Structure 1
């Protein structure tokens, strides 16, 4: 139920935010959106570790007060919108099921391969089923009149780059976060609370950099900012690969700088790539945001599965296994940087050239593509 709710809530939040700002301000707006999202996601281990140290049941009480406050604020602050006139969207249950089963089959094969055996019939069967279902999903969306993923979205080159880049980025993000947790609790023997606190430099750095992302984008441009972000994220696991030892006695030198580097990378990369949804026509904003969220969630799930495979499925991987995982993390982050290099938004930044920045059109939800 939480997954269904998140699938509706998160893309809608981005599609509500983007039309409210002219193109020159979207990097700042999405930077704030990213900062909140990244801090919430990255601080989960911190809050979870602290609560689990008292009683693990407390973790299930985090959502209600936060949701209640957000719900009340939404009633007061969010714009009231309705369906686009003349367009009635249909559900695509078959396409949704094919995407779900395809991703789930590949993830299951990766996660269970260490126990089943890499050449076991079950492993190969799930992997083959995932690939076949993925091919069927592609064929289905190309023929369906109103598919779960509209191929027309990918005619916008910047959006395609963003979708592929975010997939690669979250492969790196999920594997880096899990590997850090395994290092702290398994190799170094720290408590869950200590491991949670050790991760805090990451979300704090993301918070600061994301809030400044608008100014950085205006100074460097979207493409350069995305490249720098991907490279910084890749530099974090490379730092750990070279310096992280087996006792945790020099955390401030061996590991924390890598967390700061990945935080800088996340704060630069995510706002630019998620803002690419704003290049789509207004009627496609929600759908485009949903596709970018699919890249985010699919990349996260596959990143965890890939790390499990790389580390041999051990409950407490050793340092050598984690080093192999950091190589994977650095490589996928580098691929994200390559996707950023292909980003071409051509958004003008001169306020005089953007009608949506002034007058009654500001925040009205006018189709942003007309102002490019």
Structure 2
């Protein structure tokens, strides 16, 4: 594997620190900023949901679509986005998708119609489906596997986690002015990163093998259609009913299309996705851990945002500051994430992180209509920050360890897809659990009734985190590829 820098050992056999050039740092900054913008976008909009609902007169089911439309676009095309970057050129795909993201952010901040607002969220999700795995694979193909890549991926993934966590605070600040600023604030940063990316992202060539063999067109079509149908069915099920004809037909059609995709991939000479990649190293387990991590956390944030503002009556900024400790913990660990992985190993950190998340959710079950912040809310926030800081970068490292360069985009797309599909599934179930009697805020502002309606969703978040913990902690039946080399 070609690397921009190499680890060197002294005569005493001690591994010297990884040293990068200014161009390498700028490349990493460009990629990290885009991932942080993705994280900011999800959490900022989550904070703004009550304000959007009040101004546009939207209930819980409709508010869910502002979150789920992004997940729909993101989750349905992530696998295709990562693979297309491998085939068509990472730099080209990354810059085009980021430009679309900037344009959709601008439009979303200007529209008044709820349908158009949701449409812009879907377009942003589509764009992020290309930038996220492409940025990931640009790193894994330019930094050697082992300590160098661990450091780069730790910084990269921690930027994403930091953006997601600090987005709560930024979202609170923006929403205090207007919810529209939660859309518009990303625009200047995205434009600036496009300009920097033109200079610092290395030019690359599509896979030589694929240039000569052509593309798996039908595989790409069936994959995109199947994932789009699956994620759409998941996020629309709470509104239409899980047992409705439309939902059952949606799942059946998606399953049939994905089965056709699997048949195509097993027959073509150069498949879009090599299914045996799931048997390599920790790939399958890392993806299941990602489902639990993001599925539980995004659903928890959705509920807590409504709980703090609708039940307790906090304003957006107060709510954001209450959740700030989690973001600060993630940011504070950023410089040390790669060292933790080198010292303790990514698998151990994944287990520890998921255990911390599960404990945080369980402790939050104690909240009432008049909670004490220091004793009832803060312990959970701290545990969630620790858990996310440990698990998120470690899952990303383990998901690509031992995967060859030509499939790094595929591996990156797999892990990102697991995160987003997990978020879509758990959020859809959560919304179904808490929306049984319409928008809670409409229930005569009965705080106790609102809280009772939210509790099943809180329990679900905890159960999903525990399930992911059990998967991550289960003994391995095959030799695992180390998270670092050298």
Compute the TM-score of the two structures, normalised by the length of structure 1.
0.84
1:229 partnered with 2:381: no
1:339 partnered with 2:471: yes
Q: 1: CA distance between counterparts of 2:386 and 2:295?
A: 17
SS in 2 for 1:345: coil
SS in 1 for 2:306: helix
Change in Cα spacing, 1:86 to 1:138, as seen in structure 2 (3 Å) is closer
Change in Cα spacing, 1:137 to 1:237, as seen in structure 2 (3 Å) is farther
SS in 1 for 2:439: coil
Q: Report if the CA contact (8 A) 2:159-2:334 is conserved.
A: no
Task: Map 1:54-93 onto structure 2 (within 5 A).
Answer: 54-88=177-211, 90=215, 91=217, 92-93=220-221
SS in 1 for 2:132: helix
Partner residue in 2 for 1:327: 459
Structure of higher RCO (CA pairs closer than 8 Å, 6+ residues apart): 1
Q: 1: CA distance between counterparts of 2:470 and 2:459?
A: 17
Task: Map 1:109-258 onto structure 2 (within 5 A).
Answer: 109=237, 111-112=238-239, 116-117=240-241, 119-241=243-365, 243-248=366-371, 250-258=372-380
1:263 partnered with 2:385: yes
Change in Cα spacing, 1:206 to 1:153, as seen in structure 2 (3 Å) is same
Stretch moving more, 11-20 or 76-85:
76-85
Q: Report if the CA contact (8 A) 1:222-1:345 is conserved.
A: no
**1:240 CA displacement:** 0.4
**1:121 CA displacement:** 3.7
Q: 2: CA distance between counterparts of 1:338 and 1:140?
A: 34
Partner residue in 2 for 1:106: 234
User: Which string of whole-angstrom CA distances, capped at 9 and with x for unpartnered residues, describes residues 187-235 of structure 1?
Assistant: 1111223222322222221222343222222232222111101101111
Partner residue in 2 for 1:38: 161
SS in 1 for 2:180: helix
Q: 1: CA distance between counterparts of 2:367 and 2:375?
A: 9
SS in 2 for 1:253: helix
User: Which string of whole-angstrom CA distances, capped at 9 and with x for unpartnered residues, describes residues 282-338 of structure 1?
Assistant: 000011101111111111112211211222344237223333222211221122223
Partner residue in 2 for 1:3: 125
Change in Cα spacing, 1:222 to 1:34, as seen in structure 2 (3 Å) is same
Q: Report if the CA contact (8 A) 1:96-1:148 is conserved.
A: no
Q: Report if the CA contact (8 A) 2:289-2:472 is conserved.
A: yes
Q: Report if the CA contact (8 A) 1:43-1:200 is conserved.
A: yes
Partner residue in 2 for 1:370: none
Q: 2: CA distance between counterparts of 1:155 and 1:251?
A: 45
**1:21 CA displacement:** 3.7
SS in 1 for 2:205: coil
Partner residue in 2 for 1:95: 223
Change in Cα spacing, 1:335 to 1:149, as seen in structure 2 (3 Å) is farther
Q: Report if the CA contact (8 A) 1:98-1:133 is conserved.
A: yes
Q: 2: CA distance between counterparts of 1:230 and 1:48?
A: 26
SS in 2 for 1:82: coil
Q: 1: CA distance between counterparts of 2:202 and 2:281?
A: 30
Stretch moving more, 309-318 or 167-176:
309-318
User: Which string of whole-angstrom CA distances, capped at 9 and with x for unpartnered residues, describes residues 228-267 of structure 1?
Assistant: 01101111111101x322124x112211221111111111
The count of corresponding residues between Structure 1 and Structure 2 is 344
Q: 2: CA distance between counterparts of 1:76 and 1:189?
A: 48
Q: Report if the CA contact (8 A) 1:228-1:265 is conserved.
A: yes
**1:133 CA displacement:** 4.8
